[in-house]
């Protein structure tokens, strides 16, 4: 089973890739571990983070995990698990300056062996399409 690929087996867009991940029954630490493993596989520079997340007028998560990309974007698929569906709460791939949230944290090491990946997702890492859209977006921002 390939997760999120089109019927032709072509690369998938950001929305489909994130949707495939979002459907996993994981909290922020497990999600960050899985996303980090996929980004490592695809050669995409990133930093797994742990710290606090505050969204003005919504609330705070005292212990939270997310991904920071080299170009300043954040990947967070679990803030809304704790803070609700308010549109001010970041979700997906979000430029830090447009996040309307305060992320404060430190880099953490989250290893994810193939066995752990499969335990968290019920599929192998090869079942997930590459996150090539992240590299394309970063290239557009640098050259655009």
One digit per residue, pLDDT tens: the chain, 144 residues? 445 433 344 566 888 899 999 999 999 999 999 999 999 999 999 999 999 999 999 999 999 999 999 999 999 999 999 999 999 999 999 998 888 899 999 999 988 999 999 999 999 999 998 988 887 655 444 334
Residue 98 has a pLDDT of 83
67, 78 Cβ separation under 8 angstroms: no
What are 125's two structure tokens? Answer: 């890492």
Residue 14 has a pLDDT of 86
Residue 71 has a pLDDT of 92
Kindly provide the b/e burial profile for residues 19-49, where b requires at least 16 CB atoms within 10 angstroms of the residue's own CB: ebbeebebebbbbbbbbbbbbeeeebebebb
Distance CA 62, CA 18 (A): 24
Residue 137 has a pLDDT of 56
| Beta-sheet pairing, 73-76 with 92-95 | antiparallel
């Amino acid at each position: 089973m390939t997760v999120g690929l089109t019927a032709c087996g072509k690369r998938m867009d950001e929305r489909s890739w994130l949707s495939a991940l979002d459907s996993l029954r994981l909290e922020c630490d497990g999600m960050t571990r899985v996303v980090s493993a996929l980004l490592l596989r695809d050669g995409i520079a990133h930093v797994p983070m742990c710290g606090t997340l505050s969204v003005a007028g919504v609330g705070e998560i005292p212990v939270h995990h997310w991904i920071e990309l080299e170009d300043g974007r954040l990947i967070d698929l679990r803030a809304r698990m704790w803070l609700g569906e308010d549109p001010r709460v970041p979700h997906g791939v979000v430029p830090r300056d447009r996040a309307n949230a305060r992320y404060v944290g430190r880099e953490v090491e989250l290893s994810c062996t193939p066995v752990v990946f499969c335990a968290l997702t019920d599929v192998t890492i090869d079942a997930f399409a590459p996150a090539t859209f992240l590299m394309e977006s970063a290239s557009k921002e640098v050259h655009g």
